[in-house]
Amino acid sequence: MSKIKKKDIDTKIVRSVNKNIRSSTRKLKPLLKSIVGKKVDIVLRDLTFSDKRISNDIRKTISSAVANAENNFQYDIDKLIVKEAYCGKQIVMKRFRARAKGRAAPILKPYSNLTIILSEKKKVENHGTKG
């Protein structure tokens, strides 16, 4: 039987969930894909200078996750990276706009929930063993 060695790259994870973001998941996903795998300080800087309206809410959620990591688990902030970032659908607020001839047109205002998972990056020590 062969032994399977498991490398410990990131073990510690911290998460923060924002359940009421006033935006659709379609607008959130491109921003979330761009931040996965980056260090937290770089992500916060990028989101600060982003021209998207929703980037402020994402920044708040990441800051909350960083605060959770620091206060609850005593992690080093400089070693934190964004391991996962995903969003899901929440409620859809329905409104109606008056149109011509007494008709009405629906306006859908979707909400999303956002989950950010951070992990502490550890240095991988490779001893050059094969097999």
Instruction: Identify the three-state secondary structure at position 23.
Output: coil
Q: Which of 7, 16, 33 is nearest to 118 (CA)?
A: 16
Overall CATH class of domain 13-120: alpha beta
Q: What are the sequence ranges of the domains in the chain? A: 13-120
Mean pLDDT to the nearest integer, 50-76: 89
Mean pLDDT to the nearest integer, 41-68: 91
pLDDT of residue 100: 96
pLDDT in tens, 21-47: 999 999 999 999 999 989 999 999 999
pTM recorded for the entire structure: 0.77
47 against 76, higher pLDDT: 47
Instruction: Identify the three-state secondary structure at position 93.
Output: strand
Mean pLDDT to the nearest integer, 14-24: 90
pLDDT of residue 13: 79
Q: For residue 101, is pLDDT > 80? A: yes
| Maximum pairwise Cα distance, the chain | 78
Mean pLDDT to the nearest integer, 90-105: 95
CB 118 within 8 A of CB 77: no
> For 6-10, 28-32, 118-122, 124-128, which range has the lowest pLDDT when averaged over its residues?
6-10
> For 26-35, 36-45, 51-60, 115-124, which range has the lowest pLDDT when averaged over its residues?
115-124
**Within 10 Å of residue 56's Cβ, how many Cβ atoms?**
12
Instruction: Identify the three-state secondary structure at position 46.
Output: helix
**Within 10 Å of residue 94's Cβ, how many Cβ atoms?**
9
> What value, to the nearest 5°, has the Cα angle with vertex 13 and ends 5 and 19?
140
Token pair of 115, please?
A: 């989950």
CA gap 123, 114 in Å, rounded: 29
To the nearest whole percent, how much of the chain has pLDDT over 70? 84
